[in-house]
Amino acid sequence: MIIGHQKQLAQLMELAKQGRLSHGYIFFGEPSIGKRACAETLARYFETLATPPPLLRGEGKGGVHARPLSDAHVIAPDPETQIIGIDAIREMRNFLAQKPNVSRYRTLIIDDAHTLTGEAAPALLKITEEPPSSALIILIAPDHEMLLPTIQSRLEKFYFSPVEEKEIAQWLLKDCGASKEDASRAASRAFGAPGVAWKLLNDQRFKKLHSDAKKFFALHGKERRDFIKELTAQDDDIPPEDAFHFDRFLEALIREAMPLSARNTPFFRACLKLREQANYFNLNPRLQLTALAESSG
């Protein structure tokens, strides 16, 4: 089921019923808050006129939905480079050029659209300027300001706000088999993002990320500096999915810092500021984390 965001989903479905759906939208809001799940639920509705509960990403063999859709296609960043390049644009064009099989629309979902390269973004703009009549293009990003202004002007925007902590905890308890204690703890650290709460309980890599964040707080001085060096070391033999991601580690630090924030408010604020800057600037993880560590004592 979709956790929260029922208003956005109902509004989009009603627009589709009335034939007033735009050719493109930007779904923006914090990561793992439910933007992609809503986009895929919408695409499934177009094909089946039903909204079955989507599987969370990673469950089943087909990602969010176990059964693939014939008239929907998801573009996501390359696992190794973490960007969406010009080759993906060709893939988008080929998909949208085909007529729908069972749906009224060919729904193209571009996840993490803010990772489009400088070459790919203008090419996408051309697609949005003259889309096929059956095209529905949904861009997903943390903030619409991270996209080209010209792309923003072509698409309508839907903001996805954080889901209430109580609603996330109830979902984890009733639908995900979590204990009351685990559900409450995960929901309190999820910042209103159901996907984050689920991963805190079920995703081993995510758990490791938070274990490293806790270790960051436990260490001091040279031990902490050595740990940062170890974390941020580049190793070509490490699979892309296991590589260090600066933005994800910062988010883990923020979540783990929440219970400590009353004692160390300046550090908590510094984490939040650094996370925002990481969205827009190419920062050196080792230097930034070392400076952050020194600020926290």
Q: Would residue 236 count as lying in a domain?
A: yes
Claim to verify: residue 11 and residue 149 sit in the same structural domain: yes
Residue found by looking up tokens 């070509």 in the block: 236
Structural domain total, the chain: 2
Q: Would residue 182 count as lying in a domain?
A: no
Claim to verify: residue 13 and residue 144 sit in the same structural domain: yes
The confidence score (pLDDT) of residue 60 equals: 34
Q: Would residue 178 count as lying in a domain?
A: no
Claim to verify: residue 145 and residue 21 sit in the same structural domain: yes
The confidence score (pLDDT) of residue 282 equals: 82
The confidence score (pLDDT) of residue 49 equals: 74
Q: Would residue 195 count as lying in a domain?
A: no
Claim to verify: residue 69 and residue 151 sit in the same structural domain: yes
User: Last residue of some domain: 135, 159, 183?
Assistant: 159
**Which letter does DSSP use for residue 155 in this model?**
S
Residue 260 pairs in a beta bridge with: none
User: Last residue of some domain: 159, 189, 223?
Assistant: 159
Write out the chain's pLDDT in tens, 297 residues: 678 898 889 999 999 889 899 999 999 999 999 999 999 999 999 988 765 544 434 343 333 344 578 899 999 999 888 899 999 999 999 999 999 999 999 999 999 999 999 999 999 999 999 999 999 999 999 999 999 999 999 999 999 999 999 999 999 999 899 999 999 999 998 989 999 999 999 999 999 999 999 999 899 999 999 999 999 987 666 777 778 888 889 989 988 887 655 446 787 788 888 888 887 788 899 999 998 888 765
Q: Would residue 177 count as lying in a domain?
A: no
The confidence score (pLDDT) of residue 56 equals: 39
**Token digits of residue 288:** 């930034």
Q: Would residue 102 count as lying in a domain?
A: yes
CA–CA dist 109, 36 (Å, integer) = 8
Claim to verify: residue 127 and residue 215 sit in the same structural domain: no
Q: Would residue 185 count as lying in a domain?
A: no
CA–CA dist 187, 197 (Å, integer) = 5
pTM: 0.82
Q: Any idea what the CATH number is for the domain that residue 114 is in? A: 3.40.50.300
Claim to verify: residue 22 and residue 119 sit in the same structural domain: yes
What is the domain extent for residue 101? 6-159
Strands 156-159 and 72-75: unpaired
Which helix (DSSP H) or strand (DSSP E) does residue 74 occupy? strand 72-75
Claim to verify: residue 89 and residue 16 sit in the same structural domain: yes
Q: Where are the alpha helices (DSSP H) in the chain?
A: 6-17, 35-48, 86-97, 120-129, 149-154, 165-175, 180-188, 194-202, 204-218, 221-232, 246-257, 265-280, 285-296
Q: Would residue 104 count as lying in a domain?
A: yes
Query: End-to-end CA distance of the chain, in Å?
Result: 43
